[in-house]
Structure 1
Amino acid sequence: MPHRYLLFYKPFDVLSQFTDNSQPPRSTLKDYVPVRSVYPVGRLDHDSEGLMMLTDHGALQHRLSDPKFQHPRTYWVQVEHVPSEADLEPLRRGIQIQGYHTRPAHVALLDQEPDLPPRDPPIRVRKNIPTCWLEITLTEGHNRQIRRMTAAIGFPTLRLVRVAISHLRLEGLQPGQWRDLTAVELAPLLGEMRSSNPRISS
């Protein structure tokens, strides 16, 4: 049976797993994705939103999840206050947080607020405190890494949306929607995997 490869727009306050034993139960992927035997490639915190990939192809899941392969993941991040270029330099060089030093990240200040669906519930805005949006691309994924990075330089994260995994983009999906990858989207992922290990089949 062919493997399945899905893209999913995870809404805010949804766990990036299919089961939850807490009481009361929280919203999970099972509430949105009616496809059996697929598993998330990496995770998004419950209070983060955006693009997830799910698959039943174990070798590809491992390759995309393992930090040593350095697959880029891009986020739009709303923070309190407006950092200067000098403020962002520690993130670009790598910064010490929670006992480890992050890899250098691509960080840019967005010129305008990105076109995203409203968050439900909306962020809590503090009067007289400006906010802005950053685009941050990582090649690793430690627990709550971006939130810790922006907090370390004095700009707390208010909203976090993953907009890309490698060349895969969030465009065309709304929160809670999913779709299969196209053959064109899938080909580079499988080609890269085979080139590193010709014995792996798709």
Structure 2
Amino acid sequence: MNLIYHKWDEVPISVYREISGIVEAEGVDDTTKSVQLLAALCGVPEGEIWDLTLPEISALSKQIEWVYSFDFDKKKKPHRLKIAGNDYVVNYDVAKMSIASYVDFQTYFKDREKYMGAILTTFVLPKGKKYAEDYDCAELAKKFEAEVPITTYNTLMYFFLLTSLNSIRAMQIYSELALKEAERKTGKTLTQARAKLRKIADTFGLPSLTK
């Protein structure tokens, strides 16, 4: 029995989600968790792990200690990616996103553990294409889930949020000041506009000038 994955850099998003579910599961004994982890990392049914001898289990268990220590690259900012033989361009600036991709990002980000592949589709685009131009975003999300290592995902998200939060905050402040000025001139409370700005602030965990 051999491991398919030997470090986090090899683990795709979909398998990471499976591993995360195993590690965080409550009410499951350590032995069962170890068997489930080994099955996921070896790409075999749990039954095959249960059939192994104790020395075989012990030898494999020593090879998966890296699972409990996670890190990713916070120094190198990738601008281009090659995934399953295809070229992709990374846009880190939310100000350069289309309205459609920005709205989809907001939607997926609310449940980001579930939609990691879909989140990437909003700012990692096929080279030479606009968002959703002549390709299926749902299929691309599946490809990202199956092919993109979880460490790469974390690096992309780290730099995307780091870069975009500055732009988002600047746009938010400008929009909220403009809203207050419009309310001052009209003497009316623009309820819908306020709700939209609060929604943007809540999505990214930013303070809002509008209450």
Determine if the TM-score, normalized by the shorter chain, exceeds 0.5. Answer: no
Higher RCO by CA contacts (8 Å cutoff, separation 6 or greater): 1
Q: Which TM-score applies when normalising by structure 1?
A: 0.26
Q: Which has the larger radius of gyration?
A: 2
- Looking at secondary structure, tell me which structure has more strand per residue: 1
- Looking at secondary structure, tell me which structure has more helix per residue: 2
